[in-house]
Amino acid sequence: MEKSEMKEKKYSLSLFEQIKEHDELPPQEYIWRSITPGSLGFIYGPSKSGKTTFCENLGMSIAYGGKDYFGAEIKYDEPSKVLFISMEEYWRQRTERNKKQISQFDVPEELRDNYVVVNENFPRIFIGSDELKNRLQEIIDEVKPKVVFIDSMTRMATKDIEDSTVSGEIGVALRELANENEVAIVVIHHTHKMNGKQITIDSLAGSRVLAQEADYMIGINRTGSGIRYYKEVATRYGQEKEDVIVFDIDENQWLSPTNEVPEDTALNFKKRDGRKNPDKHEPVIRVLKDAYTTSTSLSKAEIVSKLEGKLCSSSTYELLNELEDQGRITNMRGRISLNP
């Protein structure tokens, strides 16, 4: 064997060696949809579409032991510590909203420190990617979270975030932080007004360079008619959902999925009689109509199973209770049927 072949390899290994290393590690962990330890992703959309509220709901669900969110399972051995870095909003307004949101949980004493927010000492804007990375590393070391939400991308630089050099440096810094700490970093980012257009990768400011670093990109849109919806725009691992999920925001600042439709349909929804959305019960009614044609009744668990991926179990149970109160369905000894 030649001397050059005997030298220790510094930057390479064979595919079989890498597969061996991979197989010796625990299976890849998924926290929610495409969010995994060490991942970097963006939640983006126009102003007032519900991006921050969406992320707060998701973060609290992960921190306080929620089973699912937006029809997808939250997976973990135990509830995980979540850090929410808010750099845009005054803390008192944010706390008023968070008080309403946390009322949806009965948080046991041992989980009360799981959802962590920054105090007023944390910077509200950064000068350069080095300062950004150093400050974020400091608070990650302090909190030791599994998931970090950052609101928002535009606060990470004093220069134009649409400048490819600026956004590229920030994207690389965030990617390095995610990888080095095995922490999932979720960044809230703004778009310009959509004006009735579909939300795409190109809707994201600095999209060309940021998309290179992103493991997933989730759009939260609000149409001119006030319809809000969630869209899986792109993911590095797995298949995006083809349809979008239309949602409302209730009085407790909690997102409630109401329908799953093609994006063009959501963009063309109109307000009628003061309602934000078409009949939110329609997905449940559709399942019961199919059963009605064969004179079949369904249990609540069967209805939840048929709507998996479209509505979460808690939303389905809530809609079933509303339909029963309205006299549109009958619950006979735990079997649900549609009234003619």
Query: Model confidence over 224-271: pLDDT tens digits?
Result: 888 999 999 998 877 777 899 999 999 999 999 988 899 999 998 865
Distance (Å) of CA 164 to CA 45, 296, 297 = 19, 58, 57
pLDDT tens-digit readout, 187-230: 999 887 787 889 988 887 655 678 888 999 999 999 988 899 99
Question: Is the predicted pLDDT of residue 24 greater than 70, yes or no?
Answer: yes
Q: Are strands 184-190 and 147-151 parallel, antiparallel or unpaired?
A: parallel
Say whether both 96 and 123 belong to one domain. Answer: yes
Q: Is residue 63 assigned to a domain?
A: yes
pLDDT for residue 247: 94
Contact predicate 43/189, CB 8 Å: yes
- Residue 6 inside a domain? The answer is no
Is 20 domain-assigned?
no
Range of the domain at 199: 28-268
pTM metric for this prediction: 0.75
In a domain, 152, yes or no: yes
Residue where a domain terminates, one of 237, 268, 299: 268
Report the chain's mean pLDDT, rounded to a whole number: 86
139 and 260 share one domain: yes
Residue spans of beta strands (DSSP E) within the chain = 40-45, 68-69, 72-73, 82-86, 115-117, 147-151, 184-190, 216-222, 228-235, 244-249, 255-261, 298-299, 329-332, 335-338
Query: In this structure, are 245 and 106 located in the same domain?
Result: yes
Number of domains observed in the structure of the chain = 2
The domain that contains 330 carries what CATH number? 1.10.10
Q: Does a structural domain hold residue 23?
A: no
For residue 168, what pLDDT is reported? Answer: 84
pLDDT of residue 205: 62
Per-residue pLDDT of 260-313, as tens digits, reads 899 999 998 865 444 445 567 888 888 888 877 777 788 888 888 888 767 777
Question: How many Å apart are CA 252 and CA 259, to the nearest integer?
Answer: 20
Q: Is residue 9 part of a domain?
A: no
207 plus 249 within the same structural domain: yes
Percent of the chain's residues with pLDDT above 70: 91
What lies within 8 Å, CB to CB, of 310 at 6+ separation is 71, 245, 257, 260, 283
- Kindly tell me the sign of the dihedral angle through the C-alpha atoms of 264, 270, 275, 281: negative
Q: Please indicate, yes or no, if residue 95 is contained in any of the structural domains.
A: yes
Residue range 131-148, pLDDT digits in tens: 999 999 999 999 999 999
Say which CATH number the domain at 134 has.
Answer: 3.40.50.300
Based on the fold, state whether residues 71 and 113 are members of the same structural domain: yes
Domain boundary among 268, 292, 307: 268
